[in-house]
Amino acid sequence: MAVCGWKRIVLKVGSALIAPNAAGCSTRYLLSIARFIAECRAAGTEVVLVSSGSVAAGRNAISYKQLPLPINVKQAMAAVGQSRMMASWAQLFDFDCAQILLTHDDLKDRRRYLNIDNTLRTLLANQVLPIVNENDTVATAELKVGDNDNLAAMVAILADADALLICSDIDGLYTANPRTVPDAALVPQVTQITPQIYAMAGGSHHAIGTGGMQTKIQAADKATRAGIDTLIINGQKAATFDELLANRQCGTLFHKQQERVSAKKHWLRHSLKPRGQLVIDEGAGQALLSRGASLLPSGITAINGDFEKGDAVLVQSTTGQTLAQGISQYSSPELNKIRGVHSQQIANILGYCPSEVAIHRDDLVLFRD
Ligand code: GLU
């Protein structure tokens, strides 16, 4: 049975767990996290890992003592540390790991967003563990998400995860800072993220990582609004992972604010402005409506409008009925070349084939829904 009933999770592990002494990587905390990941996968829960640690793991390779570290020094450290961090994870698994480096710009750009989404789907379908980090070596301050808690929330939304697990170095959210307030109590559940919840989180206290409790709450806020349950857990304790594997809650659970599927459908239907229409034949219409299938180029008979890959389009029957709205994997000029064509022919016609479908079923909302 899937761990805690989750089909797909995003697990965020911060620098303090990867490189606890900021002097290269350590497996001290990673062993129990890696076991958790392996057990999740064995139980049928897909995992996407968001791992920090590039700067911390590469710190001792660049001699620079003054603080704060200038950006070029941090970027050089990240260039060394990113591969160290990946190697550190890879040695703990007997399956393949894949490195995905993102900037905020990649997530904002519709076409790149779609490419990341397709790549993640392909990796997961092939049982590869995606390991995501910010592309620290190239990202400038303006292009950065900045902290991996928020990055993990964005990845959870992109990956359609049903839970986001953020590892911390304490057991979860406390009513006050437990390091300074002795009677601070752990908050096991948060049903709504209010200013009081942010106030409990205080400021960042970390010497190694960028975030603190604040960025974790921001991440929980983003994810729960998109219908994703979010847990802040203690990643330093092996017992945390034993609890989760026994399907018991631990840490602080931030409840999703709505169902994830309806959040995505709402976004697809109401937040995206359609830039064109695809007219489809009856067979394709049947496949969409009765089988929940993706839309293949072979079922498209006409394309109206001028749109880019990643734009929203309406899907219409030959009789003019609007059946659905979805995100196109191809631009209108590309679709004009491959409409009515079998997917295996796409590469011959276009010279490339980033996707066998015109609209993936996960990116499609039927108007009867
Ligand atoms: N991307 C940064 C790194 O890998 C970490 C950002 C953060 O600490 O949240 O070093």
- Residue 345, token pair as written in the block: 């022919």
Of 319, 316, 318, 329, the closest CA to residue 361 belongs to 329
Give the three-state DSSP class for 367. Answer: coil
Helices of type H across 95-181 = 104-108, 110-125, 148-158
- Residue 96 contacts by C-beta under 8 Å, 6 or more apart in sequence? 127, 128, 129
- Looking from the CA of residue 133, the nearest atom of ligand 1 is 1
- Looking from the CA of residue 148, the nearest atom of ligand 1 is 9
* Summary mean pLDDT of the chain: 93
Of 150, 50, 110, the closest CA to residue 363 belongs to 110
- Looking from the CA of residue 57, the nearest atom of ligand 1 is 10
Instruction: Give the separation between CA 326 and CA 295, rounded to whole angstroms.
Output: 9
- Cα 36 to ligand 1 centroid, rounded to whole Å: 22
- Domains of the chain with CATH codes: 3-258 (3.40.1160.10), 264-366 (2.30.130.10)
Q: What is the pLDDT of residue 140?
A: 78
Distance of CA 257 to the CA centre of its chain: 18
| Tens digit of each residue's pLDDT (9 = 90 or more) over 4-57 | 999 999 999 999 999 988 678 999 999 999 999 999 999 999 999 999 999 999
Helices of type H across the chain = 15-18, 30-42, 54-58, 71-90, 104-108, 110-125, 148-158, 195-201, 213-225, 238-245, 260-266, 282-291, 332-338, 346-350
Q: Give me the residue label for tokens 């995992």.
A: 47
| Tens digit of each residue's pLDDT (9 = 90 or more) over 134-193 | 999 988 777 788 899 999 999 999 999 999 999 999 999 999 888 888 899 999 999 999
The strand order across the sheet containing 322-327 reads: 300-305, 276-280, 312-317, 322-327, 364-366
Of 153, 38, 39, the closest CA to residue 89 belongs to 38
* pTM, full prediction: 0.89
Residue with CA nearest ligand 1 atom 2: 52
- Residue 195, token pair as written in the block: 């200013």
Binding-site residue set: 12, 52, 136, 148, 168-169, 210-216
Binding-site residue set for ATP: 12, 168-169, 210-216
Pocket of ligand 1 (CB under 6 A): 14-15, 52-56, 133-134, 136, 147-148, 209-211
Binding-site residue set for substrate: 52, 136, 148
- Cα 193 to ligand 1 centroid, rounded to whole Å: 24
Residue 288, classified by CB atoms within 10 Å of its CB into exposed (0-12), middle (13-18) or buried (19+), is: buried
